[in-house]
Structure 1
Amino acid sequence: MKSHGVDTAGAGVREPEQPGLLIPWARRYNLLVTVIFGGRRGALNNTLVAASGVRPGDRVLDVGCGPGVFAGRLAEAVGPGGRVVGVDPSAPMVEYATRHAGRSANCRFVLAAAQSLDLPDGEFDVVTSTFAMHHIPEAHRKTALAQMYRVLRPGGLLLIADAFPSGPVAPRVTRAIAGMVVHGVAHGEATEDPMSAADVRQYADVLRAVGFTEPRFADVRPWTRYLLAERPTAV
């Protein structure tokens, strides 16, 4: 079995190939999130943790964990008997998350892209991905969802949350993210506007094709939408 994580502290660490849009400035990202959500991000995180169904003792994977804030909240929810693994393709984000959110014994962070998870089959009870799917190149999103399916145990739950692009908010978010992105290049061509297709309803067909149950959708004001889907238990 290969190592389940990547040591970002070692010399010569390389970011995963074609990871999509990378954001390296964790502090700036946290500030942006605070401004966008008007101080409501903590309440949103609590809502999404509750929606994910995590329970004490669960094993949880947070894909596209960024600075680790949501993963840290998940670690609180699963308690000392559970564990949380956060993965992100940006080495600066993983390093920041490890320093600031990975102090709990039940929470760790590794460098990895969603479409190439080096983790065992059926390892997790819950997989989450919040405000990250739109960073993955469109051509790799089905692979990423298939990886999430693979690492979930039968009966495990997937939660994906992203911005719901309506009204005047989405354009402002787009401009803010554009100013933070290091590169958003796939196959030598600039990617599309990262917020132009953030609505999680777009993944319904792919989730069914990968093997998940029919996804359920819900909105959290002011502009977040999430989906829940389950890896079916063996018949």
Structure 2
Amino acid sequence: MKRQAVDTAGTGAREPEQPGVLIPWVRRYNLLVTVIFGGRRGALNSTLVAASGARSGDAVLDVGCGPGVFAGRLADAVGSGGRVVGIDPSAPMVEYASRHAGRAANCRFVLTSAQSLDLPDREFDVVTSTFAMHHIPEAHRRTALAQMYRVLRPGGRLLIADAFPSGAVTPRVTRAMARMMSHGGARQEMPDDPMSVADVRQYTGALRDVGFTEPRFTDVPPWTRYLVAERPTA
């Protein structure tokens, strides 16, 4: 039976038929994040907010917002004069984020996917996506990046962060993390290098193709690598 499209924010955005890997179990996801990052996730979010360049008065789009924790941190950074829109293709995630992080007047959440954005051109100063790009079907990732470029204003900044364990992490832990982060614990064949599905360096060519500046990469041990790129001003 075909799933009916949903608009949870009255924007006209509709849930796509093939949004990618959906994570419906919000509380389990939050527990998973706590286990993987321990007490480091708050510090990591602060690092990523700073790296995004989001500042007072900015409009920010958070792609693959999940339960809205990072979007909430962005909302704090842009203040009452700014605004944050979080999007996710998982209805339970959007509902949870709307009840929690969405309490802030400058933060709202929309059920849609990165490759199907129904948002105006040049609407945002910053676009972020943390631990979400690998959930988008590989065939649609370039489209998703093109959509992010479209909604960014000239001079706007893109930040994409994803899992990338340091060399100190054992292969067994790496594979377990990759399975959980990439596919919600589903049983399936894993590649020889399981973290390759999340390595943000894979987007370099697509970013160039859609018009972004050359991405810059930074590692945040023990679990994260992020890139920053801009939409040129001319």
**TM-score normalised to structure 1 length:** 0.87
Number of equivalent positions: 221
State the partner residue of 2:80: 80
- Give 1:185-204 correspondences, 5 Å limit: 195-204=195-204
Gap runs ≥5 in structure 1: 1-5, 185-189
Give me the identity figure in percent.
80
Q: Aligned partners of 1:179, 1:141: CA distance in 2, in Å?
A: 16
Alignment RMSD:
2.4
Q: Secondary structure at the match of 2:126?
A: strand
Kindly provide the amino acid, as one letter, of the partner of residue 58 in structure 1. D
Contact between 1:145 and 1:207, CA under 8 Å: does it hold in 2? yes
Q: Aligned partners of 1:87, 1:46: CA distance in 2, in Å?
A: 20
Q: Secondary structure at the match of 2:212?
A: coil
> How many angstroms does 1:178 deviate by?
6.8
Q: Secondary structure at the match of 1:162?
A: strand
Does residue 20 (structure 1) correspond to residue 24 (structure 2)? The answer is no
Deviations 1:6-48 (A, max 9, x none): 63389xx974211110001111111100110011100000000
Q: Which structure has more RCO (C-alpha within 8 Å, separation ≥ 6)?
A: 1
Deviations 1:52-83 (A, max 9, x none): 11110000000000000000000000000000
Deviations 1:142-177 (A, max 9, x none): 000000000000000000000015543431213334
**TM-score normalised to structure 2 length:** 0.88
Contact between 2:135 and 2:182, CA under 8 Å: does it hold in 1? no
Out of 144, 147, 172, which is 2:176 matched to?
172
> How many angstroms does 1:121 deviate by?
0.2
The runs of at least 4 consecutive aligned structure 1 residues that moved more than 2 Å come to: 6-10, 165-170, 174-182, 190-196
Gap runs ≥5 in structure 2: 1-5
State the partner residue of 1:130: 130
State the partner residue of 2:205: 205
